[in-house]
Amino acid sequence: MTTNIAVAGKGGTGKTSVASLVLCYILKNNLGPVLAVDADPNSNLAESLGLEVRQTVGRILNNFQGEKLRIPAGMTKEAYLEYQLNGAITESKNIDLLTMGRGEGPECYCYPNTVIRKLVDDWSKNYAFVVMDNEAGMEHLSRRTTQNIDEMLLVSDHSIKGLRALAHIKDLVKELKLVITRESIIINNVPGELDPRLKKEMERLEITPALLIPADEEIRQYDLDQKPLFQLPDTSKAVSAVNELMKRLISKTGVLK
């Protein structure tokens, strides 16, 4: 049985960092092979994982448009495209990465989103976990890239705008009737205690955080040094916080066993 985890939220809140630390926990605890999906057109999950991406779904689709007349004899267009898309998987020990990349045009990511959804549906049975780092905002929800999720991690930073973005996402999930078993609110990069104004806004929005991730100087330093977050020690404040959340999720649902 595959456990699907999605990470969503406003841009710049640290979604990719959270997704990376979730993946770290799964791998360090030998919970099974995992498929990481970078569904953000501005793809940078590979950097956090210390992986090198040579091919993306978007690039393959763009190139495929010019190859329609050169499909090998005896092979359908769909079969040839599926064959090529297998090259979008970046393989590593116990973790494979699927990266969306650019879409058909400067602002169009509809088709790559559709393709990613089908690929994940087809390939997920080969993995114990699928962890998807979604694009900023709510576009992935309206395109239904994110659905049939066991755990959605909604990430905000220490800001009113971030909290309101999460409230919009929660409303859209209900409106689209997406199949999401549970949602967990994460407030990232908290400088000490929560600001009283944020607490008041949480009460108004009826938001209860499952996790507060303290501001972590090590994450900032790793970014400046261009070091993958996979190398962060367990003593890191962010790593410790995410580890505790994952332990709670496992004990509550059992789906991660």
Q: At residue 49, what is the residue type?
A: L
pLDDT in tens, 56-105: 888 887 777 665 557 778 887 777 777 888 888 899 888 999 988 765 55
The rounded distance, in Å, linking the Cα atoms of 184 and 253 is 13
Q: Supply 179's token pair.
A: 């199949």
Low-confidence winner among 56-65, 82-91, 166-175, 205-214 (lowest mean pLDDT): 56-65
Domain with 75 in it: 3-253
**pLDDT, average across residues 17-34:** 93
Query: Which of 35, 11, 24 is CA-nearest to residue 229?
Result: 24
Helix extents (H) in the chain: 15-28, 45-49, 57-65, 77-85, 110-123, 139-142, 160-176, 196-205, 217-224, 237-253
In this prediction the pTM is 0.87
For 35-62, the pLDDT digits (tens) are: 999 987 778 899 999 999 888 888 887 7
3 state DSSP class of 8: strand
> Count of residues for the chain?
257
Q: How far apart are CA 81 and CA 66, in angstroms?
A: 12
- How do 149-156 and 3-9 pair as beta strands? parallel
Nearest to 194 by CA among 212, 218, 220: 212
| Residues 196-205, mean pLDDT to the nearest whole number | 96
- pLDDT number for residue 166: 93
Tokens at 212, concatenated: 């507060």
Percent of the chain whose predicted confidence (pLDDT) is above 90: 46
Q: What is the CATH number of the domain that holds 15?
A: 3.40.50.300
- Which DSSP category does 107 fall into? T
In the chain, the amino acid numbered 247 is K
Domain count, the chain: 1
What is d(CA 80, CA 85) in angstroms, rounded to the nearest whole number?
9
| Cα dihedral 9, 95, 4, 83 sign | positive
3-state secondary structure at position 125: helix
